[in-house]
Amino acid sequence: MDSIFLMNNVWIMICAVLVLLMQGGFILLEAGSTRMKNAGHIAGKTIFTVGIASLVFWAVGYGFIYGEGNAFIGLSDFFYGDASSTVDGLAGSIDFFFQLAFAAIALTVAFGGFAERAKLSVYIVFAVLFSALVYPVVAHWIWGAGWLADLGKQDFAGSTVVHLTGAMAALAATILLKPRIGKYNSDGSSNNLYGHNQVYTALGVLVLWVGWFGFNAGSTLEVADAFFGYVALNTQLAAAAGAVAALLIAWAATGKADVPTTLNGALAGLVAITASCAFVAPWAAVVIGLIGGLIVFASMKFFDKAKIDDPIFALSVHGVAGIWGTISTGFFATPELAAMNGGLPGLFYGGGFTQLGVQTIGVAAGGIYAFIVSMVILVVMKNAMGGLRVTEEEEIIGLDMSEHGSYGYPESFGGDSQKPGA
């Protein structure tokens, strides 16, 4: 076997595992950012999210993205199981596993909009339909030789495909589910429903930060010329700039260096650089991450004032930063890197408005499709399933007990089942 072929496959397998381990980061991030009475539910649903996303991706998702079809959808390679194929210089199974891990991340992002009030049955049904009808279509347009790929859309690792798509589904869910009990007062003011463990949230962000090197650097799909190191450098710089910018803007605006905002700034920097990590110079990665950190702070304030209750800030981190990151390549893509990775140089390198226009079209098309189809799916589900939300009583006692019959922290709620005399 050719040694480079083997090294490429080992590298991408390692990266696929890193992306899969990002689910652990989401468990800690989401559980820490929400209340204790829902922690077990959040951890458990993340695991079955991976299970459903994997099975649906195997059955139809991969085929809809990469199968032979037309500019809008793939129509072959369903129930994937070809042991002899080679895709992009990789064994087909390795490429499949890597792409599967991305699909599961998009679904987890979408579920950020369901937190603390959606029925468990709603999670299950929506997981199947999102994995079959929403994510694969946007992915085909951009990564599967679809119509946006033909226009030269630049989205190296998924600011649009993964993060914006998931965030638009989260927005649809957040609108339909309405705010959590106690979030807003009758006079329109809002209350902070604090997460129960900032240490969990910070550790979750760190796990995601490390996993992102599999996400971005792995998207090189090869080890030749070690270009993955350059991509990793840009990823690190953007995350760092996002964290620092968010800390400083929160400190300047509120007088306190808010921890959740700082953590969201790091994630916003990571989301923003995901599209552009292979197209821009390191100085531009710093600027992209810095702007990501600033806009995530403003976005969090905007959604709160708009009474759109986003418990884990999925709309700001993955949606708004995803839009900025996608469009940023239209400004900062260098001629050399654009020639290497596809598309045209950005506006600041003499490329004019062409690539900027393509990036904008990509954001609009992908975002609108994901939002509308998710909204239609959820409205149909709402009517067919007697609502999307648990009852008021169930929400008050928490989803751990109402949906699973046991608390994630049983001793904290006096709910241990120790028998007298045991």
pLDDT tens by residue, 70-126: 999 999 999 999 888 898 889 999 999 999 999 999 999 999 999 999 999 999 999
Cβ atoms within 10 Å of 199's Cβ, excluding its own: 10
194 has a pLDDT exceeding 70: yes
pLDDT tens-place string over residues 384-420: 999 999 999 999 999 999 999 998 998 877 655 555 4
320 to 73, 168, 268, 302, 413: CA distances (angstroms): 26, 10, 8, 11, 37
- Of 35, 93, 26, the C-alpha closest to 62 is 93
Predicted local confidence at residue 416, as pLDDT: 52
Please report which helix (H) or strand (E) contains residue 206, including its range: helix 198-216
Predicted local confidence at residue 415, as pLDDT: 55
218 has a pLDDT exceeding 90: yes
Here the tokens at position 203 are: 């550790």
Average pLDDT over residues 161-187: 96
Please state, in angstroms and rounded to a whole number, the distance separating the CA atoms of residues 111 and 114.
Answer: 5
Average pLDDT over residues 145-171: 97
Average pLDDT over residues 211-220: 97
342 has a pLDDT exceeding 70: yes
Please report which helix (H) or strand (E) contains residue 9, including its range: helix 3-33
For 26-65, letters b (16+ CB in 10 Å) and e give bbbbbbbbbbbbbbbbbbbbbeebbebbbebbbebbbbbb
CA 372 to chain centre: 18
Phi, psi values for residue 368, rounded to 5°: -65, -45
Please state, in angstroms and rounded to a whole number, the distance separating the CA atoms of residues 89 and 80.
Answer: 18
**Rounded (5°) CA angle 360-366-293:** 65
136 close to 64: Cβ distance less than 8 angstroms:
yes
- Would you give the DSSP letter of residue 190? B
- Give me the residue label for tokens 């991340």: 105
The secondary structure of 72-117 as a DSSP string is S-B-S--S---SS-EETTEEHHHHHHHHHHHHHHHHHHHGGGGTTT
Please state, in angstroms and rounded to a whole number, the distance separating the CA atoms of residues 244 and 296.
Answer: 12
Cβ atoms within 10 Å of 192's Cβ, excluding its own: 8
The mean pLDDT value of the chain amounts to: 95
The secondary structure of 363-389 as a DSSP string is HHHHHHHHHHHHHHHHHHHHHHTT-SB
Report the share of the chain in percent with pLDDT over 90: 92
Please state, in angstroms and rounded to a whole number, the distance separating the CA atoms of residues 389 and 402.
Answer: 12
CA 188 to chain centre: 30
Average pLDDT over residues 299-316: 95
pTM of the model: 0.95
Please state, in angstroms and rounded to a whole number, the distance separating the CA atoms of residues 322 and 130.
Answer: 19
Average pLDDT over residues 177-181: 96
Predicted local confidence at residue 421, as pLDDT: 46
pLDDT band at 340 (very low <50, low <70, confident <90, very high): very high
CA 279 to chain centre: 21
Here the tokens at position 249 are: 């803007």
